[in-house]
Amino acid sequence: MANPVTNAVAAYANAGKISVAPGLTSRDGAQDGGFADFLRKTAETAVDTLKQGEQASLAGVTGKADIAQVAAAVANADATLTTIVAVRDRVISAYQDIIKMPI
């Protein structure tokens, strides 16, 4: 079974290889490495991880993959989805706190 640290390092290395997605560019013309670029790369990496989990599940159902590989891919997809939901909840909470601030 793959080491979570190894998976994190591999995901970080792959994040720099992702192409530009429309709609996620910075408005001020900042160069690569800005916050919008980071969010875009993170979202694309998360989507790729979820797709890999789905493909591994399908391969497991059809008998073309080892059960350990399927379990690892599904666990990675689950961890990614849990992280996405946690970040979303924190962003919504921060937005609600900002809205409640007196002007």
| pLDDT per position as a tens digit, 35-92 | 888 889 999 999 999 999 999 999 999 988 889 999 999 999 999 999 999 999 999 9
62 within some domain: yes
18 within some domain: no
19 within some domain: no
Confidence of residue 24 (pLDDT cuts 50, 70, 90): low
88 within some domain: yes
Q: Where are the alpha helices (DSSP H) in 16-66?
A: 35-61
20 within some domain: no
92 within some domain: yes
Distance of CA 20 to the CA centre of its chain: 15
Residue 54: domain span:
4-13+25-100
Record the pTM.
Answer: 0.60
Residues 63 and 60: their CA atoms lie apart, in Å, by 5
Q: How many domains does the chain fold into?
A: 1
